[in-house]
Amino acid sequence: MGPTARLADFIVRTPTTAIPPHVLHEAKRTLINILAVALSSSGDSSVDALDAWGRSEGAASVIGRGSAREGHAALVNGYVAHLQDYDDTHFPTVLHPSAPTWPAVLAAAERNGTSGAETLAAFAVGCEVACRVALSVHPWHYDAGWHITGTVGGFGAAAGAARVLGLDQAQTAQALGLAGTNAPGVREAFGTNGKALHAGHAAMSGLRAASLAAAGFSGPTTILEGRRGFWAVLSPGGHDAAPIEALDGLTPGARWEVQNNGLKPYANGVVSHPLQDAVIALRNAHAIVAGKVRGIDARVHPLVLELMDRPQPETGLSAKFSHQHCAAAALVDGAGHEAQFSDARARDPQIAALRALVRATPDARLGEDEVHVTIRLADGRALSTHVEHATGSPENPMPDAHLEEKYGALATPVLGETDAEALLHAAWTLDQAPDVRALMALASKRRES
Amino acid sequence: MGPTARLADFIVRTPTTAIPPHVLHEAKRTLINILAVALSSSGDSSVDALDAWGRSEGAASVIGRGSAREGHAALVNGYVAHLQDYDDTHFPTVLHPSAPTWPAVLAAAERNGTSGAETLAAFAVGCEVACRVALSVHPWHYDAGWHITGTVGGFGAAAGAARVLGLDQAQTAQALGLAGTNAPGVREAFGTNGKALHAGHAAMSGLRAASLAAAGFSGPTTILEGRRGFWAVLSPGGHDAAPIEALDGLTPGARWEVQNNGLKPYANGVVSHPLQDAVIALRNAHAIVAGKVRGIDARVHPLVLELMDRPQPETGLSAKFSHQHCAAAALVDGAGHEAQFSDARARDPQIAALRALVRATPDARLGEDEVHVTIRLADGRALSTHVEHATGSPENPMPDAHLEEKYGALATPVLGETDAEALLHAAWTLDQAPDVRALMALASKRRES
């Protein structure tokens, strides 16, 4: 039994009668002691601030699920934004900036009646802060085991919410401090619901930090650089002030990191994306149907075989890490959304037969976002293509039309065609909207289940 | 301007009009992208669990402040329990186990209608888990800059809540995993409201972890030992499985760490506690009044002068780190509660005059909890005493009667005498109570402000 299991065993199996009376007496004493100090502290003005936020949060929209108090809305929206691992990625750092930042910005904007244009600006600023903090600790921080979306994400959420709520500079530094000292998330949680909870927590924590700072609750204003701050404690092996120092409030915009933030075209491991791009390009150009295929030959970056070599995966989840499945589904459906990674699709005989025809050869000279693919057909033709930069990489951003396809494939089954189109229109015209409420009213319509 | 201030400056001062149109277009694209994936994810069963907890939490008592939803109650109660730094201390690790653990246990017990005896047992088990995890990472973890009460506290809260809610072993391991991957808090927050927020977060997070695990939400079940788990990431320089391995569910209780958990007799830095013990002992034994004192001579552990040498502090907060003030207030009031550390008491002329009569000499042969004190009086007498182990240290636990005095001094001004006594009685007889509701109803009476 491992150490965590042993603790769980102790918690569950220790009989109450086996706990000695002196230990239970000590338990009473600790209770009396903290009741005393808690009562004595309960009138402090900082408690007023903390209690007020938790009790009188405004109502905010929960995507697909109606409305709730704003802290909860931020938590759930951050969670669902990251759950499929299908959100955006800041390529230089593997930060997913939107899942923590957008929910905090949107909830604050709903409370505040902020205009659409200012809401977009707050996200842009919050996203920039998150990416800059991420750059300041990458790669040491992630390599050490931190889930950077959980830890650094809170800075983005706090920054965006602070901007929406109109905090001054001093309050904003407090908000960053409160977010930065409440920034958890280790990679051991990958593969569990705990991973997406990191993004949800970061969204909630950043919104809370900005709200508390606005009410006079104090936080550490040297959270990055302090002797016991974020850099020293969460990235002791490597951090770099330069990405932060390069920010200058008077002349912003020399560069914006959102340009290095890619949208994922496929809901699976990123190293297989060039292969899917190539198969879909050939399929569409030559109207290839599965039954006519005799082979799919690919020269790939070695990571594809290292991370995603599963010839016949048996579940949808493992299919996401099978380059063979990704290529086969891309040929049959021309896509790689959640629908292509259901358990049923993993067991589909047509896809299984195609998977067996995929041959990938590693070539270390290729880029990670590069591939060469040849599809051999029953009529003897061999159709080849070369993808230099996969869709969604900084060098080849997903076109707007492709994003609309992805949106439609995911949103329409939930909202129906009319509402899904109205929501898309509301997002594209957000800079013209008086506030975000119409957008969020559509996004939070309860799904029919 | 430091890096954190620079970020705050960027957030506050960047004009919306200075953000390039292509950046705002990219912001819209990220919004459309996460709306799509969030809508697609919004019906997942894990979202049902997360949403249900946040929406349908039971009501729980907030100490001194009425009732609220249980997550908020745990957050605020953990915060107020730690705000004065006057709660308990696990001496081997400087963990404060009660502030995170008790609020989670109490809120879960209120929801569940758990008996008083089972509630005490759940705290004993949760406290043990927190202390064992703390021992497994001490001293590396704290020395690296982590606030162990924030990080490890969540394990205690999750363990106690899991026990109350009757989770099985597998669910309990998930709950520990969710708490352990949501365990933030750096020491840079010391001196700000952020420090006590760590304890509140740990209480809330542990309660949430147990509640989510009970609803089927998954977490990492190898949170301690995993390759990217708590030990590897939050204590890479030193951790030790032995304190955990020593737990055995079948034969618990060979030792209980709560015996090494001390209750603080004074609301100030711990190194000055032996000095205060000695002054109060002499004062009470010989009915010493301030006007008759000509000198207070002490031989002290060197840390007293290193950490607490402030001859004439000007605020209540700095008086907490003045051994001179601590000794003077002990002589005048026979105590060292919050009342002895108000700004007014720091400026009190009688106390200022006494502070000038304190002479402390370092002696490296003494223990940290040891002191020799001589008080010289106007009539020529010199009264001496030796404190070998200060009150509240494991070798000299605070007597129950002393705890009752501390409780009375802190609780009575808030609750009034009748309710304060009733609450004290409810705590001492908790093992007889059918549930914790009567206790919490008294503890949460709204203070008159």
What is the DSSP code string of A327-367?
HHHHHHHS--SGGGGSHHHHT-HHHHHHHTTEEEEE-TTS-
Cβ pair B169, B142 in contact under 8 A: no
| pLDDT band, residue B57 (cuts 50/70/90) | confident
Just give the CATH number of B270-387: 3.30.1330.120
CA dihedral B263, B265, B267, B273 (to 10 degrees): -110
Q: Which residues of A fall within a CB distance of 8 Å from B436?
A: none
User: Can you tell me the mean pLDDT for B139-149?
Assistant: 96
User: Can you tell me the mean pLDDT for B277-298?
Assistant: 97
Q: What are phi and psi of B68, to 5 degrees?
A: -155, 180
Task: Report CB contact under 8 Å: B88, A30.
Answer: yes
| pLDDT band, residue A228 (cuts 50/70/90) | very high
Lowest-confidence range among A159-163, A233-237, A432-436, B14-18? B14-18
Could you read off the pLDDT of A106-123 as tens digits, one per residue?
A: 999 999 999 999 999 999
Task: Report CB contact under 8 Å: B31, A123.
Answer: yes
Could you read off the pLDDT of A6-15 as tens digits, one per residue?
A: 999 999 999 9
User: Which of left, alpha, beta for B365 (phi over 0: left; psi -120 to 50: alpha)?
Assistant: alpha
Is the confidence at residue A285, as pLDDT, over 60? yes
**Closest chain A CA to residue B401:** A29
Nearest to A75 among B54, B65, B400 (CB): B54
Q: Which residues of A fall within a CB distance of 8 Å from B39?
A: 63-64, 80, 410-411, 414-415, 443, 447
| pLDDT band, residue B155 (cuts 50/70/90) | very high
Among A13, A19, A30, the residue to mutate for chain B (most B Cβ within 10 A): A30
Q: What are phi and psi of B90, to 5 degrees?
A: -80, 105
| Nearest in space to B232 (alpha carbons), one of B153, B155, B140, B170 | B140
- Count of CB pairs separated by less than 8 Å, A with B: 595
**Closest chain A CA to residue B248:** A10
Is the confidence at residue B254, as pLDDT, over 80? no
Q: Give the β-pairing of B371-377 and B382-387.
A: antiparallel
**Closest chain A CA to residue B80:** A38
Residue B381 to chain A, least CA–CA distance (Å):
38
Residue A80 to chain B, least CA–CA distance (Å):
5
**Nearest-angstrom CA–CA distance, A312 and A353:** 10
Which residue has 């758990």 as its token pair?
A: B114
Q: Which residues of A fall within a CB distance of 8 Å from B174?
A: 192
Q: Which residues of B fall within a CB distance of 8 Å from A36?
A: 406-407, 409-411
Is the confidence at residue A446, as pLDDT, over 90? no
Mean pLDDT estimate for chain B: 95
Task: Report CB contact under 8 Å: B47, A79.
Answer: yes
| Nearest in space to A319 (alpha carbons), one of A356, A269, A360, A359 | A269
Cβ pair A324, A256 in contact under 8 A: no
Task: Report CB contact under 8 Å: B19, A252.
Answer: yes
Nearest to B81 among A34, A221, A225 (CB): A34
Could you read off the pLDDT of B186-204 as tens digits, one per residue?
A: 999 998 999 999 999 999 9
Is the confidence at residue B251, as pLDDT, over 70? no
Q: Which pLDDT score, from 0 to 100, does residue B307 have?
A: 84
Q: Which residues of B fall within a CB distance of 8 Å from A185?
A: 181-182
Q: Alpha carbon of B431 to those of A21, B59, B118, B123, B167: distances in Å? A: 10, 23, 8, 12, 22
Lowest-confidence range among A184-188, A440-444, B95-99, B254-258? B254-258
The domain made up of A70-263 is a member of CATH 1.10.4100.10: yes
Portions of chain A given CATH number 3.30.1330.120: 270-387
Q: Which residues of B fall within a CB distance of 8 Å from A400?
A: 29
**Nearest-angstrom CA–CA distance, B170 and B182:** 19
DSSP-derived secondary structure letter, A429: T
Neighbours of A368 (CB within 10 A): 18
Q: Which pLDDT score, from 0 to 100, does residue A160 have?
A: 98
Quote the tokens at residue B22: 């292509």
Q: What are phi and psi of A371, to 5 degrees?
A: -160, 155
- Burial category of B182 from C-beta neighbours within 10 Å (exposed 0-12, middle 13-18, buried 19 and up): buried
Nearest to B19 among A34, A190, A253 (CB): A253
Is the confidence at residue B447, as pLDDT, over 70? no
Go through B140-163 and write b for each residue having 16 or more CB atoms within 10 A of its CB, e for each that does not.
ebbebbbbbbbbbbbbbbbbbbbb
Task: Report CB contact under 8 Å: A249, B33.
Answer: no
- Burial category of B434 from C-beta neighbours within 10 Å (exposed 0-12, middle 13-18, buried 19 and up): exposed
Is the confidence at residue A357, as pLDDT, over 60? yes
Task: Report CB contact under 8 Å: B40, A84.
Answer: yes
Q: Which pLDDT score, from 0 to 100, does residue B253 have?
A: 58
Q: What percent of chain A has pLDDT over 90?
A: 90
Q: Which residues of B fall within a CB distance of 8 Å from A155?
A: 7
Is the confidence at residue B419, as pLDDT, over 80? yes
User: Can you tell me the mean pLDDT for A199-226?
Assistant: 97
**Nearest-angstrom CA–CA distance, B105 and A16:** 15
Task: Report CB contact under 8 Å: B184, A181.
Answer: yes
Task: Report CB contact under 8 Å: B220, A192.
Answer: yes
Residue B122 to chain A, least CA–CA distance (Å):
8
Could you read off the pLDDT of B63-87 as tens digits, one per residue?
A: 999 999 999 999 999 999 999 989 9
Task: Report CB contact under 8 Å: B223, A121.
Answer: no
Nearest to B23 among A31, A188, A256 (CB): A256
User: Can you tell me the mean pLDDT for A149-170?
Assistant: 98
Nearest to B410 among A40, A63, A80 (CB): A40
Q: Which pLDDT score, from 0 to 100, does residue B418 have?
A: 97
Residue A45 to chain B, least CA–CA distance (Å):
11
User: Can you tell me the mean pLDDT for A405-409?
Assistant: 95
Q: Which pLDDT score, from 0 to 100, does residue B252 have?
A: 56
**Nearest-angstrom CA–CA distance, A250 and B363:** 56
Q: Give the β-pairing of A358-362 and A293-300.
A: parallel
Could you read off the pLDDT of B363-384 as tens digits, one per residue?
A: 999 999 999 999 999 999 999 9
DSSP-derived secondary structure letter, B386: E
| pLDDT band, residue B17 (cuts 50/70/90) | very high
* Torsion over CA: B339, B343, B346, B347 (sign): negative
Q: Which residues pair with B207 in a beta bridge?
A: none
Which CATH class, in words, describes the domain spanning B61-263? Answer: mainly alpha
Which residue has 């409370």 as its token pair?
A: A111
Nearest to A40 among B36, B69, B338 (CB): B338
DSSP structure string for B319-366: HTT-HHHHHHHHHHHS--SGGGGSHHHHT-HHHHHHHTTEEEEE-TTS
Is the confidence at residue B3, as pLDDT, over 90? yes
**Closest chain B CA to residue A160:** B11
User: Can you tell me the mean pLDDT for B21-29?
Assistant: 95
Q: Give the β-pairing of A293-300 and A371-377.
A: antiparallel
Cβ pair A207, A181 in contact under 8 A: no
Task: Report CB contact under 8 Å: A26, B102.
Answer: no
Q: Which pLDDT score, from 0 to 100, does residue B116 have?
A: 97
Q: Which pLDDT score, from 0 to 100, does residue A56 have?
A: 81
Portions of chain A given CATH number 1.10.4100.10: 70-263
Task: Report CB contact under 8 Å: B449, A43.
Answer: yes
Is the confidence at residue B249, as pLDDT, over 80? no
Mean pLDDT estimate for chain A: 95
User: Can you tell me the mean pLDDT for B143-164?
Assistant: 97
Can you give the C-alpha Rg of chain B in angstroms?
A: 25
Q: Which residues of B fall within a CB distance of 8 Å from A239?
A: none
